[in-house]
Copies of this chain bind each other. A is one copy, B any other.
């Protein structure tokens, strides 16, 4: 099998990381890259890391033109634009992983409240599978469209889902204190991500109003079987990549630390990319890989989890390829170890 691949919006960091993963993937062939940049620049002029590794130009192609020559499209477009581009592709047989938030939320009003715009494709909202393979592998396998998860939600959901499913932690209050490297903010220069501003500094941002909040809440709600109250605080950390999420929850029953870790370990026993560890993980243990490392602590009557991922890989492009592998029936780990 060779999967012919197109990438919409190939100028950003997630697209670059996706290309690098796909270049190592034995069944993938990248055949089209798009961008709205003038002059169809060579991919290596946009991403010098790819010099000599991929001989394609970024073209301003219509989504259907990309679909016509591919089996699989990854959309790295911004929300709104992404759904609009994906809709015509779904008329055909090409399969799609959407990196944007357009199809992640379960209902249209929540989308429109948090993203401040009308949804271009309200019909598919709530019917699209959430592309977290550790939770939804079977639906992903048969889906034409998969909503790739947000980076922060991946670190939060993987840590707390097993504990909510087992009824160990109280869904009525879970605090996620998350810390992310700067690549998560994208490739467009802004003052907040200007080197001398964010280097040697640290700040919280979007407190109480980050758009990943409803995403975490909805997916954890599925695990808990009821509404989950999530307080999510993101912080910007002076490093390229990596997310560490420290979560604080109340136990619903008396459990020891080793019992909590055991629940996590059992839940992920067959999942190749979640590593439940006893030590306190560092983001560096996971960066440049598709792994998520998780541990738990019981402190002062509370249950804490600490989880680490690479925001660009397990939090974006790695999980996207993991989803593709499931969609095309090749081994889930192909190209990712």
Chain A interface residues toward B at CB < 8 A: 13, 23-24, 48-49, 51-53, 173, 175, 177, 179, 181-183, 187-191, 193-205, 207-208, 229-231, 233, 235, 237-242, 244, 246, 248, 275, 277, 279-289, 291, 293, 297, 299-300, 302, 304, 306, 308, 337
Contact = CB atoms under 8 A, between A and B. Distances in A.
A287 to B, nearest CB: 7
Nearest to A199: B240
10 contacts: A13-B196, A49-B284, A52-B291, A179-B179, A187-B191, A189-B194, A195-B199, A203-B281, A204-B244, A204-B306
A23 B52 CA distance: 24
A205 B300 CA distance: 16
A52 B285 CA distance: 12
A194 B193 contact: yes
B194 A289 contact: no
Nearest to A194: B189
Nearest to A250: B173
A154 to B, nearest CB: 16
A193, A233, A238, A279 — most chain B CB neighbours (10 Å): A238
Contact of A202 (B52, B201, B244, B300): B244
Given A179-B179, A196-B13, A248-B231, A282 B202 contact: yes
A108 B34 CA distance: 47
A199 B233 CA distance: 23
A24, A51, A188 — most chain B CB neighbours (10 Å): A51
A332 to B, nearest CB: 14
A189 B202 CA distance: 18
B337 A53 contact: yes
A231 B196 contact: no
A308 B203 CA distance: 9
A157 B181 CA distance: 28
Given A195-B199, A238-B239, A242-B200, A175 B205 contact: no
Given A199-B240, A239-B201, A304 B207 contact: yes
B179 A196 contact: no
A48 B237 contact: no
A191 to B, nearest CB: 5
Given A182-B196, A201-B284, A207-B280, 6 more contacts: A49-B285, A49-B289, A187-B194, A187-B196, A193-B194, A201-B283
Contacts of A204: 244, 246, 280, 306
Nearest to A238: B239
Contacts of A13: 196
Contact of A246 (B23, B51, B235): B235
A88 to B, nearest CB: 32
A179 B283 CA distance: 14
A182 B200 contact: no
A239 B282 contact: no
A288 B201 CA distance: 12
Contacts of A242: 200-202
A51 B308 CA distance: 13
Nearest to A193: B195
A202 B283 contact: yes
A295 to B, nearest CB: 9
